[in-house]
Chain A
Amino acid sequence: GIQVEQSPPDLILQEGANSTLRCNFSDSVNNLQWFHQNPWGQLINLFYIPSGTKQNGRLSATTVATERYSLLYISSSQTTDSGVYFCAVERDRDTGFQKLVFGTGTRLLVSP
């Protein structure tokens, strides 16, 4: 099956710093989502980004599907950004099959 690798596995930042998280995938994908799992365990949708670039406040994401990677940028980080960031990809759109395969995540800690 498709492999999804995220880097770095762990990241510690000082509040106000910027960071880039990376997601590599081993095969063609039709869809890609970024999630933030907060310290309470909730999975929050950040971006639905099969290709191109999107921005939402201090966060932005870019997916280059032809090169099989996606990047999540966090600018001016805040302590509330702490948690685990997951990339998840999906294949087989032709059959209507919807199966999200998750990466192992990047654990982010933002200290004040």
Chain B
Amino acid sequence: DAGVIQSPRHEVTEMGQEVTLRCKPISGHDYLFWYRQTMMRGLELLIYFNNNVPIDDSGMPEDRFSAKMPNASFSTLKIQPSEPRDSAVYFCASSFRDRGSNQPQHFGDGTRLSIL
């Protein structure tokens, strides 16, 4: 079975440009999560969706960040305009609930983003 698929794997762009990260969750999973990993802050949750609806975006750093999930098999995380401090690895994860019990989250390979 295909896991969580993220694209691109690497992105290098100049400050001020728009960046779009993409994620395809595992089929049948109804929860999707976006995380960011930095040396300073470790792994932190940015936002998560349930049934394509954003549930908690309290981790989104500022208005330059936005996330969408137009359907069950696709989500985007957009940064506009990008800044050097946004450089990090961004992970997407997905999971589901089974009879009221949360199941483990499965992570994609991440997108390594560098803003020059």
Chain A residues within 8 Å of B, Cβ to Cβ: 30-31, 33, 35, 41-43, 45, 48, 86, 88, 90, 93, 96-102, 104-105
- CB of B102 within 8 A of CB of A43, answer no
| Contact (A99, B48) CB under 8 Å given A30-B102, A93-B101 | yes
Q: Is B12 an interface residue (CB 8 A)?
A: no
| 1/0 contact string of B45-77 vs chain A (CB within 8 Å) | 100101000011000000000000000000000
Within 8 A of A (CB), among B18-48: 31, 33, 42-45, 48
| 1/0 contact string of B78-116 vs chain A (CB within 8 Å) | 000000000001010101010011111111011010000
- CB of A96 within 8 A of CB of B109, answer no
- CB of A99 within 8 A of CB of B110, answer no
| Chain B interface SS verdict (over half) | strand
Q: How far is the CB of B89 from chain A (nearest CB, A)?
A: 6
| Contact (A43, B91) CB under 8 Å given A90-B102, A105-B42 | yes
Chain B: interface size category: 20 to 34
Look across to chain A and name the residue whose beta carbon is closest to the beta carbon of B110: A41
- CB of A41 within 8 A of CB of B106, answer no
